Amino acid sequence: MRIVFMGTPDFAVPSLQSLVDHGYNVVGVVTQPDRPKGRKQILTPSPVKELAIKLGLEVFQPERIKREEAIEHVLSWKPDLIVTAAYGQIIPEPLLFTPKFKAINVHASLLPKYRGAAPIHQSIIHGEKETGVTIMYMVKELDAGDILSQAKVVIESDDTVGTLHDKLSQVGKNLLIETIKKIEEGTIHPIPQDDHLATYAPMIKREDERIVWNKTSTQIYNQIRGMNPWPVAFTTYKGQNVKVWWAEPFPYHHETEPGTILRVTKDQLLVATKDGAIELKEIQPAGKKKMDIVSFLQGAQVQEGEKLGEINEQEVDS
């Protein structure tokens, strides 16, 4: 079976590696073009490209996969199957239906829940107790193709996007191999999705990262976990943005406005929420490195009654 693999970020790396490890004939890899990264904006290859080069695979990086010349390039590899995993562009129809076994996708949710770009983030933010991986046929509509296989994964109460991402990518690589074997054997039984049960996981926007203190402690905790390690939730303090890497709900009765600092000691900082408090554990003030709250409180003059989360007008204007 001639396979073309299309993927870009770390999530897709185990799936590509697994295909090669199991002896599949990966005839080409399509990934996003190199992008500027970091403060120095150094042109950086995607994780999938780095692995493909290491494995000696041919790499193709079209700016627009929809263009005719890009489609022809991929089809010139004469794939029997196209495998995609977080590629990052909409796949044009000729690539979905021309290969003998069509195109399948490794998606990090239990479809039809959380179709879209950020299923791992959104499952944690919404407080889900379980998620999983779905292998499905790709169709023109977003993540709406027939389901070929699924595997569930429990979301632990302290899971972050980072830890859950790693679990799902490992589950995905195993499920992918099992699914391809069934496709080869002709024993796969596609199951149509129930569109009435579909929910969506849109890409994370800047406003999603801002902590709204007038929410419950659990909601804020889920938001912080659902932004860690990327893009990281933030609040403001004295007009400056402060990233909140980790915090935990803390039972505390108060009648204070949410966002107010309730308690400051040498090793504890409590902030009022709608129904209690959040204890900040690990933060990153603007222009500084990530630090635990003890280190922060040693150098900051934080006072009880001060407010977090007041809008930075300069940021709003920008």
Mind giving me the DSSP string for 22-66?
A: TT-EEEEEE-PPPEEETTTTEEE--HHHHHHHHTT--EE--S-TT
Give the pLDDT score at 144: 97
> Is residue 109 annotated as involved in ligand binding?
yes
- Angle made by CA atoms 281, 286, 287, in degrees to the nearest 5: 115
Give the pLDDT score at 318: 38
Neighbours of 41 (CB within 10 A): 9
Residues in the chain with pLDDT values less than 50: 313, 316-318
Cα torsion for 43, 47, 50, 52, to the nearest 10°? -130
> Is residue 149 annotated as involved in ligand binding?
no
Residues carrying CATH 3.40.50.170, the chain:
2-201
Give the pLDDT score at 300: 87
The CATH number assigned to the domain with range 206-307 reads 3.10.25.10
pTM over 0.85: yes
Q: CA 170: distance to chain centroid? A: 14
> Is residue 176 annotated as involved in ligand binding?
no
Summarised one tens digit per residue, pLDDT across range 218-274 is: 999 999 999 999 999 999 999 999 999 999 999 999 999 999 999 999 999 999 999
Residues carrying CATH 3.10.25.10, the chain:
206-307
Beta-bridge partner residues of 135: 106, 149
- Angle made by CA atoms 132, 160, 6, in degrees to the nearest 5: 50
The CATH number assigned to the domain with range 2-201 reads 3.40.50.170
Give the pLDDT score at 311: 64
> Is residue 45 annotated as involved in ligand binding?
no
Locate 48 and state its tokens.
């999938």
Give the pLDDT score at 38: 83
